[in-house]
Amino acid sequence: MAIYRGPGGAGDATGDATNASALALAAKDAAQASATSAASSATAAANSATSASTSATDADTSATNAAGSATTASTAATNASNSASNAADSATEAASSASDAADSATAAASSASSASTDASTASTQATNAASSASSASTSASTATTKASEAATSATNAASSASSASTSATNASNSATAAAASETNAATSASSASTSATTAVNAKTDALAAQAAAETAETNAETAATSASSSASSASTSATNAASSATAAASSATSAASSATSAAASAVTAATFDPALYLAKSGNLSGLANTVTAANNIGLNPYGNGFKNRIINGAMMIDQRNAGASSTPTSSTYVTDRWNSILTQASKLTLGQNLNSITPPIGLPNYAGFQSTSSYSLSSGDYFIMRQSIEGFNFADFGFGTVNAQTVTISFWVRSSLTGTFGGAFCNYAFTRSYPFTYIVNSANTWEQKTITIAGDTGGTWVGASASGAASLTFGLGVGSTNSGTAGAWASASYTSATGATSVVGTNGATFYITGVQLEKGSTATSFDYRPYGTELALCQRYYYKQGGDGTSTNFYSMGVEGASSATGQAGSFPVTMRAVPTVTVGSGVSFYSPASGGKAFTIATNRSSTTTASLDISITGGGATTGQAGAIYASGAGGSISYSSEL
Provide the pLDDT for residue 450: 98
Provide the pLDDT for residue 391: 97
Q: With contact defined as beta carbons under 8 Å apart, do 325 and 300 qualify? A: no
The C-alpha atoms of residue 162 and residue 463 are separated, in whole angstroms, by 129
Provide the pLDDT for residue 152: 52
Residue 214 confidence (pLDDT) above 60: yes
Q: Is the pTM of this model over 0.85?
A: no
Q: With contact defined as beta carbons under 8 Å apart, do 456 and 433 qualify? A: no
Tell me the pLDDT tens digit for each residue of 230-281.
Answer: 445 545 554 554 455 455 456 545 555 554 554 454 444 444 444 444 444 4
Average of per-residue pLDDT across 352-360: 98
| CB-count burial class (<10 Å; 0-12, 13-18, 19+) for 415 | buried
Query: Edge-to-edge, what's the strand order for the sheet holding 640-644?
Result: 543-547, 640-644, 582-585
At 122, the pLDDT band (50, 70, 90 cuts) reads very low
Provide the pLDDT for residue 619: 82
Residue 18 confidence (pLDDT) above 60: no
Question: Biggest alpha carbon distance in the chain?
Answer: 209
Instruction: Pick 69 or 431 by higher pLDDT.
Output: 431
Collapsed DSSP state (helix, strand, coil) of residue 525: coil
User: Which of 538, 545, 535 is closest to 644 using CA atoms?
Assistant: 545
Report which secondary-structure segment, H or E, holds 188: helix 175-270
User: Which of 216, 217, 214, 200 is closest to 146 using CA atoms?
Assistant: 200
420 alpha-carbon distance from chain centroid = 33
Provide the pLDDT for residue 602: 86
Tell me the angle at which helices 175-270 and 99-171 cross, rounded to the nearest 10 degrees.
170
Whole-number Cα distances in Å, 293 to 279, 411, 642 = 10, 27, 34
User: Which of 284, 288, 282 is closest to 316 using CA atoms?
Assistant: 288
Tell me the pLDDT tens digit for each residue of 428-447.
Answer: 999 999 999 999 999 999 99
The C-alpha atoms of residue 518 and residue 423 are separated, in whole angstroms, by 14
The C-alpha atoms of residue 615 and residue 606 are separated, in whole angstroms, by 5
Residue 76 confidence (pLDDT) above 90: no
DSSP assignment string, 560-624: EEEETTEEEEEEE-SS--SSPPEEEE-TTEEEEETTTEEE-EEEEEE---SSEEEEEEEETT---
Provide the pLDDT for residue 486: 98
User: Which of 510, 520, 586, 583 is closest to 548 using CA atoms?
Assistant: 586
Provide the pLDDT for residue 47: 60
Provide the pLDDT for residue 525: 97
At 541, the pLDDT band (50, 70, 90 cuts) reads very high
User: Which of 367, 361, 394 is closest to 273 using CA atoms?
Assistant: 361
DSSP assignment string, 493-506: ---EETT---GGGS
DSSP 378: P
Residue 350 confidence (pLDDT) above 50: yes
Tell me the pLDDT tens digit for each residue of 152-171.
Answer: 543 453 354 354 345 434 43
Pairing of strands 566-572, 612-619: antiparallel
Provide the pLDDT for residue 49: 40
Instruction: Pick 532 or 98 by higher pLDDT.
Output: 532
Residue 306 confidence (pLDDT) above 80: yes
Instruction: Pick 569 or 118 by higher pLDDT.
Output: 569
Provide the pLDDT for residue 193: 44
Q: Which of 49-53, 213-217, 530-534 has the lowest mean pLDDT?
A: 49-53
Q: Which of 165-174, 339-348, 590-599 has the lowest mean pLDDT?
A: 165-174
Provide the pLDDT for residue 208: 56
At 604, the pLDDT band (50, 70, 90 cuts) reads confident
Computed over every residue of the chain, the mean pLDDT equals: 71
Which residues have CB under 8 Å from 245's CB, separation 6+?
83, 84, 86, 87, 88, 90, 91, 108
Average of per-residue pLDDT across 462-467: 96
At 624, the pLDDT band (50, 70, 90 cuts) reads confident
Provide the pLDDT for residue 40: 56
Provide the pLDDT for residue 318: 98
Q: Which of 259-268, 338-347, 373-382, 516-525 has the lowest mean pLDDT?
A: 259-268
Residue 575 confidence (pLDDT) above 90: yes
Average of per-residue pLDDT across 359-387: 98
Which residues have CB under 8 Å from 386's CB, separation 6+?
338, 339, 340, 341, 471, 472, 473, 474, 495
Tell me the pLDDT tens digit for each residue of 470-492.
Answer: 999 999 999 999 999 999 999 99
Query: Edge-to-edge, what's the strand order for the sheet holding 348-352?
Result: 348-352, 367-371, 510-520, 407-415, 447-453
Average of per-residue pLDDT across 14-31: 45
